Amino acid sequence: MSGKNLQVVLANRPAGWVKESDFRLVEGPIPTPGEGQVLVKNRFLSLDPYMRGRMSAARSYAKPVEIGEVMTGQAVCEVVKSRASLLKPGDKVLAPSGWQEYAVLPSTEVERVDPQGMPLSYFLGVLGMPGQTAYCALLGVGQPKPGETVLISAAAGAVGQLAGQIAKLKGCRVIGTAGAPDKVAFVRDTLGFDAAFNYRGKDADALGAELAALAPKGVDVFFDNVGGPLHDAAMVNLALHGRVIIVGSISIYDRLETPDTGIRWNRQLLVKRARMEGFLVWDWRHQTRLFRDEVSAWLRAGKIHYKEDIVDGIRAAPKAFIGLLRGVNRGKMLVRVSEASA
Ligand SMILES: NC(=O)c1ccc[n+]([C@@H]2O[C@H](COP(=O)([O-])OP(=O)(O)OC[C@H]3O[C@@H](n4cnc5c(N)ncnc54)[C@H](OP(=O)(O)O)[C@@H]3O)[C@@H](O)[C@H]2O)c1
């Protein structure tokens, strides 16, 4: 197949905040699939905070992207050529195809998508990895009960918006935090959280006081997407037998290479007989079908509101990703890489 494949590769390991110069745009040929492989064309690429970790050589749960390598990422794609018996041109698939227009992958690495009337992009968000994070972390680890108070940080984002709405569906009182007035209004007025507040410009003491006023009986389930001062504020306000789900720590993603030291909460965990547990979505693959069926049903019934933030073209990915780390995004961050084939 003739034509070019525009790709975004890692140019440098970032020092502190990610910069556009940490990426480089390159043009390669469109690759040819070998036996058992497929050539896919990316339709939508997902931009996710975890990608900051892959840019760093710091020890993590996955290996880093090498300098000069195409940035890692999941996309919904269309099969263009297939040398695998179970896939044919035109099939829609989820694939780890990265920040580029085309990719060749073994058929074993792609998952066929049956949209059943849902937009394809949803399989990277509310029906994809972020959605499953919200569903499995909240219900599997947090185990909220009706009447309990649930706190969600980064509540306007891909994970937070669904986690809070599920907690509401389960009969909880839900508080969200976000970093801009319009996001706070979105969380409260559109998503239906009981309360929300802006964390920006406030230290842990001020955040703790604001939270105490909103949750006088304490926080039963803390869905922590960000770490940092908000984490400390929530820990001070933990209810008896509280559950803290460590889902993300985006507040320190600009300094992943140094240890995250600070206050130790051992005594608070003991006094409150609380539980803190780290969560990784890939450990919950056995629940993918359950999650998709239930969240799809809620979407169809109009019980879940979902917001996306879409930019166009692979060239836009670096700037959009930097914006995601800084809170510029309004909803699930995606790149529309190409239009559907006729
Ligand atoms: N463990 C897992 O398996 C798993 C899976 C998926 C995602 N995650 C984690 O979940 C979190 C949310 O991911 P997402 O995809 O839903 O992203 P997102 O919330 O759509 O976007 C990231 C948001 O983080 C907020 N943020 C940035 N810097 C912050 C800071 N210093 N303090 C507080 N908030 C800050 C910004 O919102 P504001 O404008 O509100 O600040 C930004 O919009 C991330 O930490 C991510 O790594 C974990």
The 10s digit of each residue's pLDDT in 136-186 is: 999 999 999 999 999 999 999 999 999 999 999 999 999 999 999 999 999
**Ligand 1 atom closest to Cα of residue 50:** 47
CA-based Rg of the chain, rounded to a whole angstrom? 20
- Residue 138 confidence (pLDDT): 98
Measuring from each residue's beta carbon to the nearest atom of ligand 1, which residues come in under 6 Å? Answer: 48-50, 130, 133, 154, 156-160, 178-180, 183, 225-226, 228, 247-248, 250-251, 279-281, 324, 327, 329, 333
In this prediction, residue 59 has a pLDDT band, given cuts at 50, 70 and 90, of confident
Identify the bridge partners of residue 150 per DSSP, sorted by sequence position.
Answer: 174, 221
- Residue 302 confidence (pLDDT): 98
- Residue 341 confidence (pLDDT): 72
The 10s digit of each residue's pLDDT in 31-46 is: 999 999 999 999 999 9
Report CA 121 to chain centroid distance, whole Å.
14
Considering only CA atoms, which of 170, 129, 177, 186 is closest in space to residue 155? 177
- Residue 342 confidence (pLDDT): 58
Question: What is the average pLDDT across 121-125?
Answer: 98
Structure tokens at 57: 């050589």
Exposed, middle or buried: residue 339 (CB in 10 Å: 0-12, 13-18, 19+)? exposed
Please report where in the chains the tokens 């410009």 appear, as a residue.
Answer: 201
17 CA distance to ligand 1 middle (Å): 15
Q: Whose CA is nearest to atom 18 of ligand 1?
A: 157
- Residue 238 confidence (pLDDT): 98
273 CA distance to ligand 1 middle (Å): 27
- Residue 260 confidence (pLDDT): 85
The 10s digit of each residue's pLDDT in 220-279 is: 999 999 999 999 999 999 999 999 999 999 999 888 878 888 899 999 999 999 999 999
Whether 2 has a pLDDT exceeding 70, the answer reads no
Q: With the C-alpha atoms ordered 128, 134, 139, 145, is the resulting torsion angle positive or negative?
A: negative
| Secondary structure element (H or E) that encloses residue 45, with its range | strand 37-46
Whether 214 has a pLDDT exceeding 80, the answer reads yes
- Residue 261 confidence (pLDDT): 87
Average pLDDT of every residue of the chain: 96
Question: What is the average pLDDT across 100-123?
Answer: 96
User: Are 338 and 101 contacting, i.e. CB atoms less than 8 angstroms apart?
Assistant: yes
For the chain, the maximum distance between any two Cα atoms, rounded to a whole number of angstroms, is 66
248 CA distance to ligand 1 middle (Å): 7
| Secondary structure element (H or E) that encloses residue 298, with its range | helix 288-300
Please report where in the chains the tokens 């050529």 appear, as a residue.
Answer: 81
Question: Taking phi first (over 0 means left), then psi (-120 to 50 degrees means alpha), and beta for anything else, what does residue 81 get?
Answer: beta
**Cα gap 234→211, rounded to integer Å:** 7
Give the mutation target among 159, 199, 276, 280 for probing the ligand 1 site: most ligand atoms within 8 A of CB. Answer: 159
SS3 306: coil
| DSSP line for 65-83 | PPTTSBPP--EEEEEEEE-
Question: What is the average pLDDT across 308-332?
Answer: 98
Whether 192 has a pLDDT exceeding 90, the answer reads yes
Whether 16 has a pLDDT exceeding 90, the answer reads no
- Residue 1 confidence (pLDDT): 63
- Residue 259 confidence (pLDDT): 82
Q: Whose CA is nearest to atom 42 of ligand 1?
A: 327
- Residue 194 confidence (pLDDT): 98
